[in-house]
Amino acid sequence: MCGIIGYIGKQKAAAIILEGLKRLEYRGYDSAGIALLQDGHFEVAKKAGRVEGLIKGTGAQKLAGTTGIGHTRWATHGGVTDANAHPHISSDGRIALIHNGVIENYAHIKKFLLTKGFTFKSETDTEALCNLIAYHYQKEPAAPDSSRFLESVRKTLRHIEGTYGIAVLCTDCPAEIVAARKGSPLILGVGDGEYMLASDVSAIISRTQNVVYLKDGEIVHMTAKNFSITTLGAEDVSPVVDTITWKIEDSELNGYAHFMEKEIFEQPAALENTMRGRFSEDGSTAQFGGLNVSAVDLRQVDRFHFLACGSAWHACLVAEHLIERFARVPVEVDYASEFRYRNMPLGNGTLFFTVSQSGETIDTLAALREAKRKGYKVLAIANVVGSTIAREADGGVYQHVGPEIGVASTKAFTSQLLVGAMLALYLGRMRDMSFSDGVEYVKALKGAPDLVRQALEAAPQIKAIAQRYAHYHDFLFLGRLALFPVALEGALKLKEISYIHAEGYPAAEMKHGPIALISEQCPSVFFVPSGEMFNKVVSSMQEIKARKGKIIAIATASCDLPAGLADEVIRIPECHEAVLPIVATVPVQLLSYYIAEELKRDVDKPRNLAKSVTVE
């Protein structure tokens, strides 16, 4: 979850690295640091807190040198202190290292190194890795320094248990960087007379659009003139250079106060991009070019199994409802973090989907590998092209919503809902959904962007509601059927960015326990759809009102709510049931955002969170 960047070339590295760190800060913002090589020694600046504090508090931007590495940290081992900030320097002063991941056997390594005279200044697992590289560097026989440097890293990594994305400098090799990955993303940027490393393309897109996605077990050795990639077993790897299609402007605020706000309002365009080119010519079904599963094979599937974490898990719950409703195939949804530790029976006709915006979520990646280990085909729904999950899956669907910078997922979530709805259509049309029903479904999906635009028009009203409710300490979010997962998502959003306690429940479950929480100090947010669930939801609302609970209703346009039942009513347009979860999500995103803004929270960098969860 930490952010890594490295630079080697002709330009002064400090400004380039610090700019990259600012773009990576959503991956971790407990501390930040930078190390540059200059005249055979390291110039280091690091500090607990944000990148801006590093710049103002240490003068990091003034450091000299054209080769360097930088890091922004999400703390795992050790508290948030200057000493625990990266980069770490080996106790002999020869090696500097930054690291994303967890070294599981660091305590054993540290114990060994203490017997060899190495000392430690931090509480981190990373410092043990840094000193172990220095130990192997000392032991390497006399050889050209660069070869010695590379081999010391290679030998060290063979002893490591856990995950890592690392970038390493050596004082004896003033114009070289060695980097490697296992379980944590790392990308090589190929520029004009320069090379860069990053854990996310957003950090390097301003300088190059040509990248190499490193795979697990690969090591890259960079100089200012060239690079080479090998495996841990010292086998040569032929690099594949990909081109990033989005521009630097896509990761700018462009006048919005926060990335979360920008990304909420980008959702109509994001949904259009997700759908583009994915409907049949006759307008009766969806089509996907990258599933790599034939229609014949899909018809043999008797169960779909979705694996995800966080907001993506909520999107899978909606997909479960829609696929079972329209394709009449059973669906199982698992937390990816739990799946590989369970010993559940799996039928031969099961097809897996993994869902992850970043395509790097470590728990989801581990679940994917476990399913494949058991012999199952696994497809992926991901937003980041070239991500590990996208590469390791047997096929899948790219979301194409562009970079999502805000830690709390918004446009990626609604895009995942849309992909799930399109899958339900695609699978349904393979089975017993009629042509006319398919045409109606496609028409509804194509209208989703405009419906979301209409829902966004309620932003001023929702902002006023948020200001009235911002100082409550508990919220309940309640929905039925496919809107229950949206209730879960609404509660998660409020918790993530405002730090207010919130829970999501099926509305009918209130009387089975949670109703004990109801009071004038605990508002309830209800999703109120028209149709068969309307009277049921109204009945649950009346149970809340009878106990003096405040109610915020998110209701479709035709719902005729009893007078005085809801304290606040937010209207959303009527829509097809496959589109309703997408449209209903918008008001709770806005409500959470405006409450957090009213409370002056750091919306894009909420405490204790990071964008891409790459450690267990």
Both 468 and 544 in a single domain? yes
Same domain, 496 and 352: no
Q: Based on the fold, state whether residues 531 and 494 are members of the same structural domain.
A: yes
Of 385, 414, 446, which residue is a domain's last? 446
**Are 310 and 335 a contacting pair, CB within 8 Å?**
no
Residue 376 belongs to a domain with what CATH number?
Answer: 3.40.50.10490
Confidence of residue 342 (pLDDT cuts 50, 70, 90): confident
Say if residue 483 is in the same domain as residue 573: yes
Q: Phi and psi dihedrals of 303, rounded to 5?
A: -160, 135
Read off the pLDDT of each residue in 77-104 and give the average, rounded to a whole number.
93
Looking at the structure, tell me whether residues 271 and 223 fall in a common domain.
Answer: no
For the chain, percent of residues with pLDDT exceeding 70: 98
Burial class (CB in 10 A: 0-12, 13-18, 19+), 507: buried
pLDDT tens, position by position, 108-138: 999 999 999 999 999 999 999 999 999 999 9
Range of lowest pLDDT (56-65, 384-393, 431-440, 579-588): 56-65
Question: Quick one: tokens of 168?
Answer: 């390493």
**H helices present in 398-482, as ranges:** 411-430, 435-446, 448-456, 459-469
Residue 51: which CATH number? 3.60.20.10
Instruction: Tell me, yes or no, whether 503 and 601 share the same domain.
Output: yes
Question: Where does a domain end: 247, 266, 297?
Answer: 247
Question: What is residue 534's predicted lDDT score, i.e. its pLDDT?
Answer: 86
**pLDDT exceeds cutoff 80 at 614:** no
> Same domain for 225 and 323?
no
Q: What is the pLDDT of residue 200?
A: 86
Same domain for 210 and 86: yes
Residue of higher predicted confidence among 593 and 248: 593
Do 142 and 228 fall into the same domain? yes
Which of 147-151, 448-452, 463-467 has the least mean pLDDT? 147-151
Tokens for 419? Answer: 């992909």
For 401-417, b where at least 16 C-beta lie within 10 A, e where not — what string?
bbbbbbbbbbbbbbbbb
* Distances from the Cα of 307 to the Cα of 352, 364, 371, 429, 528, angstroms: 8, 7, 10, 24, 29
Domain, as residue range, for 74: 3-247
Buried residues in 349-380 as b, exposed as e (16+ CB within 10 A): ebbbbbbbbbbbbbbbbbbbebbeeeebbbbb
pLDDT value, residue 615: 59
Domain end marker among 189, 224, 247: 247
Task: Please name the residues in contact with 288: beta carbons below 8 A apart, sequence gap of 6 or more.
Answer: 278, 397, 422, 426
What's the pLDDT band for 516 if we cut at 50, 70, 90?
confident
Are 225 and 122 part of one and the same domain?
yes
**144 band by pLDDT with thresholds 50, 70 and 90:** low
Rounded distance between C-alpha atoms, residue 149 and residue 219, angstroms: 12
Identify whether residues 182 and 259 lie together within a single domain: no
Q: What DSSP character marks residue 236? A: E
Q: What is the pLDDT of residue 512?
A: 87
Give the E-state strand segments of 480-592 in sequence order: 501-506, 524-528, 551-556, 568-572
Provide the mean pLDDT of the chain.
92
**pTM, to two decimals:** 0.89
The pLDDT score that the predictor gives to residue 535 is: 86
Q: How far is 361 from 130, CA to CA, in rounded Å? A: 25
Does residue 510 carry a pLDDT above 90? no
Give me 7's structure tokens.
């630079």
pLDDT on residue 517? 84
> What integer is the mean pLDDT of 73-79?
85
Six token digits for residue 610: 């990071």
Query: Each residue of 346-361: pLDDT tens digit?
Result: 989 999 999 999 999 9
Q: Which residue carries 């959003």 as its tokens? A: 493
186-234: per-residue pLDDT in tens? 999 999 889 999 998 888 888 999 999 999 999 999 998 899 999 999 9
pLDDT interval class at 252 (50, 70, 90):
confident
Statement: residue 244 has pLDDT above 80: yes
User: Are both 298 and 439 inside the same structural domain?
Assistant: yes
Taking only the tens place, the pLDDT of each residue in 23-44 is 888 888 889 999 999 888 899 9
362, containing H or E segment:
helix 362-373
Q: Distance (Å, rounded) from C-alpha 570 to C-alpha 314? A: 22
Q: Is the pLDDT of residue 563 over 80?
A: yes
Per-residue confidence band for 275, with pLDDT thresholds at 50, 70 and 90: very high
pLDDT tens per residue, range 363-374:
999 999 999 999
Total domain count, the chain: 3
pLDDT, position 325:
96
By annotation, the residues acting in catalysis are 2, 611
User: Distance between CA atoms of 583 and 482, rounded to whole angstroms?
Assistant: 12
